[in-house]
Copies of this chain bind each other. A is one copy, B any other.
């Protein structure tokens, strides 16, 4: 019997009505003769509410206790969905991350999966049950309840799909798929039928919120095809697959396919600049090691060419971590004898992502020219093989995204998708 893993995000199970609608979809899938493992997130704003409650009770909020607290959200969802399934005559059973044997390391709040045992899920599937698994959580090698970071329910789903040899992994969310740009910023944005893991990774890294970066990384490394789709319209969404499955990849790429798959915008970061840093070996390490130790994700880093023996180093961090980051950076700047530290919260990151970039020169030039033509000043640049990102003023983000969407031919024309992959 084929096995599908379905993951439902927080908005998909936000209230009893939505919960029952999800149960209906699971029941329909099951009645089509498919084994189903469901992974659920916490209902709507449940996680945010628990975090707020913790903030009202405690300033310290130790990681172990935050994990004990936050994991209850997904457990509530799992139990309720299982009950809703019972009403539909579907024999289902809920499991915590610990019960399905999602073994993680001991880093509370950002634990990494070491192993997925899945014994209880296999046993339950063998006797015809639908399994409903609380996402986002595992149990550490020290037998403590852990969480794997915001958005990690996607990771739970990919990891279970891999461990159980699932035929598909459906990620149900509140958008209908992966778009060529954020439709709220770029009205002409279109849904992609398919996107490669590498492109999706770059999009997630560039700030796309559709899929969490770690779950895409996991899915790519383990070859788990993801189908991102809507739990509101139930229409087919976007497949995230291997590049060899992707007709745009390599020699098979048709000439009419766009080189760029999407324009990704991100306004959640702030820029920090350390001015007048003495240009000697080891300064960068001294700066970024304590930030890493504080679990702050540093994104773009740009270091200017040295003049008169000093240089400027700029980097971006999540705005939420800005205060902590700046404290650390000011301390280090003093230590290394830098001239000063400045910061800017009013920035946006705009990226163009596309596997076709590898074989098409001049993308960067086109991007910079387009932005210049539209009066957008570029503050920082960083590139990968299939992505170019720039930091600009936050006020320019809409103009930048729209002009790039047009310049790279994403505004119109048929979607370059391929049919859904065959089930193995």
Contact = CB atoms under 8 A, between A and B. Distances in A.
Interface stretch (A52-60, A150-158, A280-288, A324-332): A52-60
A19 B66 CA distance: 16
A161 B400 CA distance: 65
B58 A68 contact: no
A87 B60 contact: yes
B65 A82 contact: yes
Interface in A31-72: 50, 53-54, 56-62, 64-66, 68-69, 71-72
Contacts of A181: none
Interface string A327-363: 0000000000000000000000000000000000000
Contact of A16 (B53, B61, B71, B75): B53
A20 interface: yes
Interface residues of A, number: 38
Contacts of A72: 72-73, 75-76
A84 interface: yes
A94 B76 contact: no
A68 B94 contact: yes
Contact of A83 (B60, B94, B145): B60
B84 A58 contact: yes
Contacts of A82: 62, 65, 68
Given A19-B57, A20-B57, A75 B83 contact: no
A73 B57 CA distance: 16
B58 A80 contact: yes
A79 B145 CA distance: 11
Nearest to A16: B56
A84 B62 CA distance: 10
A78 interface: yes
A420 interface: no
A336 to B, nearest CB: 33
A163 interface: no
A221 to B, nearest CB: 31
16 contacts: A20-B57, A53-B76, A54-B79, A54-B80, A54-B83, A57-B81, A58-B83, A60-B83, A61-B86, A62-B86, A65-B82, A65-B94, A69-B76, A69-B80, A72-B72, A99-B143
Pairs A-B, 3 closest by C-beta atoms: A58-B83, A72-B72, A69-B79
